[in-house]
A and B are shown apart, each in its own frame.
Chain A
Amino acid sequence: MSANLLEVKALKTQFFTRDGVVHAVDDVSFELAVGETLGIVGESGCGKSVTALSLMRLIPNPPGRIVNGTILFEGQDVMKLDDDDVRALRGRKIAMIFQDPMTSLNPVLTISRQISEALELHLKMDRAESRKRTIELLELVGIPSAKKRLDDYPHQFSGGMRQRVMIAMALSCNPKLILADEPTTALDVTIQAQILQILKDLSQEFRTAFILITHDLGVVAGMTQRIHVMYGGEIVEKADTFELFDNPKHPYTWGLLKSIPRLDEQRREKLQPIEGLPPDLIAPPPGCRFEPRCTYKRDRCSAEHPGLRQALNAKDGHETRCFGTQPGAMNGWLAQTDWRREIGSIEVLEQVKQQVAELPPEAVRAATSDVPPPPAAER
């Protein structure tokens, strides 16, 4: 038995659509220790959300199905549980925070109702207890005058406040693992930082493991211990956070680093997107999936599909899915490439890391900039 909280092995999730089978998640494996934090990063459509939903067996079927793989959570295989046991896991042991707080809360139920639902279900609390606990939770996530707002409806809250409610909901039963799927993408930049800080503080406080899913490397920088980069349904690079920023080993990661939005806009360079479109997951390229967009490719890349291997000139455990940075007779042509020169200035990156890490907690908790607008008639 391992000490890992979560072990995902060879996870394969597909969507069976009219146009063909979408290989949304293809052979993804990773593990997570108790209380550990992991970032999964990639462009939209790369399979990161589907990975998270697969962990909770929330893939809509049809059209989707987990076709292969094991998901060991606390030693038991989630794939083999019956529906009742999976439900006992959801919300209780594994909770999820979704991307859009505007649409992820039920508009016709009060927020106390929506939070206490899980409390009553999993912790067998009665109405009074669950209300009390709901107030505590709302205070915990920094909602001012929580008691008064208990019976408000989602539309009476601002976006940031709603995401706090979502966090409170996820924390309600003290789960072992929180999956946060782009929790800040729909929010203003200033509120993003506050929400991330709350997530970080609370997970530390309760020793909750979390997986932060985002398309923005800047967001995970100060948040997680390790980062996995996904592309085209696969993990293409795995590394500790510092190692990934310090010594990235996949051209796609370089592209992501280059495209981090920079706040100090006195730069000459514009925002640098990666050229081209993400691969068609119905008929992915036979070789390396990033090959069509890669500027460093060689013949081999289009012919052969690279595996995930230990990278050259990198820390132990830093894996990459690129022939150019892997050991081997015909490989490693990128091992000596100075990626810093490739992506521009490193100070910018340092600054991104600082942005999240240096926010004083008081400023976050006070949250005065996030006062909800007066409820308006929507007629």
Chain B
Amino acid sequence: MATITASQQRALDMNVITRKQRSLWMDAADRLRRNKAAMAGLFVILGFALVAIFADLRVGPLHIQLAPYDPTCYFYLNGHTACGGDVVGARSGPPTANPFWGANADPRFLLGTDQIGRDILSRLMFSARISMVIGFVPVVLYFLIGGTIGLAAGYYGGWIDNLLMRFTDIVYAFPDLLLLIIIMATIRNTWIGDIMGGLFLMFIALSIVNWVGMARLVRGQVLSLREKEFVEAARSIGAGPVRIMTRHLLPNSLAPVIVSMAFSVPLAIFAEASLSFLGIGIKPPTPSWGVMINEGFVVFTGTPSMVLLPAACIALVMLAFTFLGDGLRDALDPRMKL
């Protein structure tokens, strides 16, 4: 007798609805604000986002630099510094400086340096940039590509729909990560793979793999909405297809789309970290947490902090995004599970 049945819930819901007739979005915001885990997640994300933005920001004369050093500069034991490109004599071996809690810590490098003398704190901060960018940019791409195609397929049906569904079948035959690995591994060594340190290719690869899910989601929403009375009403007063799609279908299918986007962000970060860890993601010397783990793994037993620090960052950011995503889902659509 511990729980309430669906019909009782409906009765209670009805009661609440009659009590306060407020907008769906206001209610959702309220529910989200009450969710402690989601709010904690939001603050962690904001923190990382601020670090990412101000790691090194130049706007006109303004120059804010949170990161102490250039993440690709090498600091030698003899006090020499070398920056940019291939550096002759950059050696591997034990780190030149341990983090502040370790032996022979160097006050200049709070979290120490890696085995070739680069400042870990600066690298972590610049890596946050990669993660934030990889989290948010592709999601916008999926939304634009998948949303448009899904809308068209759902609204018009016919060959667009057939084509979409066949393509979906093919993409769904591959597990996401497997397809990503193959795309990244094959195209990484071309000139496309060099744009923005491999970031551009990651955008493309993630979009190829993930727009389909968004398209299917939007298509399903549109299919269920397009026979509804309000669409019929809009059509009967002469609204064109574009107006119906953008004014009626899209806004009404927004809640699940937002939830799906919220979950896509950590998945993209996850993918970048995983691929970079395997050595087929972001190209060194551009720092990313995955790259740092990959590079530090060879000296893991000697200097665990080189691996543990970026690993902790990944874990923290992933958890934060998942809590926020869960909170958003619960807030926007309490009936949706998982």
Contact = CB atoms under 8 A, between A and B. Distances in A.
A44 to B, nearest CB: 7
B6 A103 contact: yes
B16 interface: yes
B15 A281 contact: yes
Given A19-B19, A282-B19, A44 B14 contact: yes
Interface residues of B, number: 15
Interface string B1-40: 1111111100110111011000000000000000000000
Contacts of A107: none
Given A60-B4, A103-B6, A44 B19 contact: no
B12 A103 contact: no
Contact of B1 (A22, A58, A99, A278): A58
Q: Looking at B2, B7, B14, which has the most chain A CB atoms within 10 Å of its CB?
A: B7
B196 to A, nearest CB: 46
Given A103-B6, A282-B19, A60 B14 contact: no
B18 A22 contact: no
A62 B11 CA distance: 16
B19 A103 contact: no
B15 A22 contact: yes
Chain A interface SS verdict (over half)? loop
A59 B15 contact: no
A280 interface: yes
Nearest to A58: B1
Contact of A45 (B4, B5, B11): B11
A45 B15 contact: yes
A363 interface: no
Contacts of B7: 99-100, 103
Interface string A84-110: 000000000000000110010000000
B308 to A, nearest CB: 41
A49 B15 contact: no
Contacts of A58: 1
Nearest to A15: B12
B11 A60 contact: no
Main secondary structure of the interface of B (DSSP, over half): helix
B2 A61 contact: yes
Interface in A266-319: 277-278, 280-282
Nearest to B4: A60
A17 B5 contact: no
B18 A60 contact: no
Nearest to A99: B7
A280 B19 CA distance: 7
Contact of B18 (A59, A61, A277): A277
Contacts of B3: 60
B2 A60 contact: yes
A63 interface: yes
Given A103-B6, A280-B18, A59 B1 contact: yes
B327 to A, nearest CB: 16
A100 B1 CA distance: 20
A207 to B, nearest CB: 30
B16 A19 contact: yes
Contacts of A277: 18
B28 to A, nearest CB: 15
B60 to A, nearest CB: 50
B30 to A, nearest CB: 11
Nearest to A281: B15
A44 B16 CA distance: 13
B90 to A, nearest CB: 60
A14 to B, nearest CB: 12
Nearest to B19: A280
Given A63-B4, A280-B19, A22 B12 contact: yes
25 contacts: A17-B16, A19-B19, A22-B12, A44-B11, A44-B14, A45-B11, A45-B14, A45-B15, A60-B1, A60-B2, A60-B3, A60-B4, A60-B5, A61-B1, A62-B2, A63-B4, A99-B7, A100-B7, A103-B6, A103-B7, A277-B18, A278-B18, A280-B18, A280-B19, A281-B15
Interface of B: 1-8, 11-12, 14-16, 18-19
Given A22-B15, A64-B4, A99-B7, 15 more contacts: A15-B12, A44-B11, A45-B11, A45-B14, A49-B11, A57-B1, A59-B1, A60-B1, A60-B8, A61-B2, A100-B7, A280-B15, A280-B18, A280-B19, A282-B19
Which 6 residue pairs of A and B lie closest in terms of their CB atoms, listed nearest first? Answer: A60-B4, A277-B18, A280-B19, A60-B1, A60-B3, A61-B1
